Chain A
């Protein structure tokens, strides 16, 4: 299945990225809107970082590149600056972000633009993740996951065949609220594999001294899961 791509401008923010994944999107970070802009259905521009003026310029660039939905994240005190920018900015979300509101607004806009994913499900073969109800199943069996196990699985499954280092996973899945050091990732992968069960453990592959990769087929082409 394909997911609408959403751009994150200008920086990777793990909380925003999680929200994009929760909205059924693939997240791509675009640091510089003057460079080539990837094909995408939506762009989330963080005006809290760059200010409304710079965000509007960025919005114009991504719209020109064919992105249909532009969502701004703003501080309440920036609201006044938004007037007269209605044709460029489709919607906005106020800081501090309410996750449910964010996903609802983005999905609503994507649906209007005819770009929404069919359902809030991430499905790969026997694995299905419902990002709305936070439930994951494998061959129809519900997985009893802790929150971080769920977040890790959802993140990996949203980026099939992409290799992530432990550090990347820590910063993008855990944010900065982790306790156990970088080995935390190994521990969680080990647990996820145990919960997926022996036949499906290969969906999460270890690339020795590199990191981890989600493989929908569960078949490894290098030294795989152990």
Chain B
């Protein structure tokens, strides 16, 4: 669409933009960028940027390493946290082969593929994540432990401290970028905060999660604060999750609305059944780090059981209440993911699991009935993923093989560690 190219080039010129950041994501959801000057931009928009994919985690492939980053112009956005005199804009990229076909290692393309398949069945997938994170002072304890910058708790209204100011300015910046924030609040643990995003289609939201992580960290860094989306940074405090609200739409109607219990349709019940059925298999993606599994333990409001409930925090799925007759907001909440997941892959596997339930008309177990447990470690999660035909089919063999190899290496490195837990417990005894 040439109007779009004109819009971007003209805006770059009019606003005196010095650099355009071309954003993309590796398989583990880490943020990558090229920086191009306005002079190079027109070429980058026309032809994409060729680069050696073997330098990027999960992109390497024997015999063929050059790939192309193609800007998705609908995502062109000026970044409001740079000085206007040195304006910077960003645009998300899709990674393709040199011939233009989608590259299997590109998470954004993988999500697109799953969304397109759903679209062909008439469904649009909307998501709204609640992102939790910690603000730390930047100083660390004797063993490297991070130090929270405040001692507040859930919903605490503290005197206007540094953390609240920082969170507020972050929310305002996100709004300026067009990112809808439903609300933001202090969470349960000291230094822990939460930003709840307003639903969008899953591709936009995966981009948004990348933007939120970047903005939260960047604005914190500028004030000498360290922001972290690490799932469980403090042993005795609640971890950071990314509870994700899911809904499926068909012809402008929420396909989850129906006459069943809690106002759910059969589609919603089958979707939920699919999500539960595949919950262990998708956990390696929704909770991809060794540390993720320290959050998924009993207590501290984290899910451990594969079950669903209206209120039980230990259940992996929840059916949030709908306010009054606002049935449009009918949705399911999947509580396992953490904010350090790759959002593209996490949304892709949640949708694939739920849609499989819809396609197979899977029966939903009774409320509170436990059909299993979430994997207890990254190693267990990798095995569950490996054994799942749905995961191989959804993400493709290139990505699954690379992912499992990387994650099993991480687990094996972790297994060799001797930890402070062992010194304090065993040295006096053994």
Contact = CB atoms under 8 A, between A and B. Distances in A.
A183 B74 contact: no
A135 B14 contact: yes
B73 interface: yes
A147 interface: yes
B185 interface: no
Binding site of A, secondary structure by majority: helix, strand, loop or mixed? helix
Interface stretch (B171-179, B269-277, B317-325): B171-179
A195 B78 CA distance: 12
B403 interface: no
A181 interface: yes
B80 A181 contact: no
B10 A133 contact: yes
B196 interface: no
A179 B8 contact: no
Contacts of A145: 178
Interface stretch (A62-70, A77-85, A116-124, A186-194): A186-194
B85 to A, nearest CB: 13
B51 interface: no
Contacts of B2: 99
Contacts of A182: 252
Nearest to B3: A99
A11 interface: no
A187 B200 contact: yes
B76, B178, B180, B249 — most chain A CB neighbours (10 Å): B178
A17 interface: no
B4 interface: yes
Contacts of A195: 175-176, 178
A91 interface: no
Interface in A92-141: 99-100, 133-135
Nearest to B79: A144
A224 to B, nearest CB: 18
A134 B12 CA distance: 11
Contact of B74 (A100, A134, A148, A187): A148
A172 interface: no
Nearest to B78: A144
Contacts of A212: none
A187 B182 CA distance: 12
Contact of B249 (A133, A183, A194): A183
B180 A194 contact: yes
A177 B204 CA distance: 15
A21 to B, nearest CB: 11
A1 B122 CA distance: 43
B74 A144 contact: no
A150 interface: yes
A188 to B, nearest CB: 8
A46 interface: no
A179 B178 contact: no
A117 to B, nearest CB: 19
Interface string A1-23: 00000000000000000100000
Contact of A147 (B8, B124, B249): B8
Contacts, number: 81
A75 interface: no
A184 interface: yes
Interface in A124-181: 133-135, 142, 144-150, 166-167, 177, 179-181
Contacts of B252: 166-167, 181-183
B176 A181 contact: no
Contacts of B10: 133-134
Interface string B190-221: 00000000111101100000000000000000
Contacts of B73: 147
B80 A144 contact: yes
Nearest to B10: A134
Nearest to A133: B14
A166 B4 CA distance: 22
Interface in B338-384: none
Contacts of A187: 180, 198-201, 204
B201 A134 contact: no
B418 interface: no
A180 B11 CA distance: 25
B9 to A, nearest CB: 9
B232 to A, nearest CB: 32
B55 interface: no
Contacts of A147: 3-4, 7-8, 73-74, 76
Contacts of B176: 144, 194-195
A190 B124 contact: no
Contacts of A142: 15
Contacts of A134: 6-7, 10-11, 14
Contact of B204 (A99, A133, A166, A180): A180
B249 A191 contact: no
Nearest to B250: A181
Contacts of B50: none
B77 interface: yes
Contact of A146 (B14, B15, B74): B74
B228 to A, nearest CB: 26
A225 to B, nearest CB: 14
A180 B74 CA distance: 12
A144 to B, nearest CB: 4
B124 A181 contact: yes
16 contacts: A99-B3, A146-B74, A146-B75, A147-B4, A179-B115, A180-B200, A183-B252, A184-B201, A187-B198, A187-B201, A190-B180, A192-B178, A194-B178, A194-B179, A195-B176, A195-B178
For the complex of A and B, 3 pairs with smallest distance between CB atoms: A180-B201, A181-B124, A191-B178
Interface of A: 18, 99-100, 133-135, 142, 144-150, 166-167, 177, 179-184, 187, 190-192, 194-195
Given A187-B180, A190-B180, 11 more contacts: A99-B3, A133-B10, A144-B78, A144-B176, A146-B178, A166-B252, A167-B252, A179-B115, A180-B201, A180-B203, A187-B201
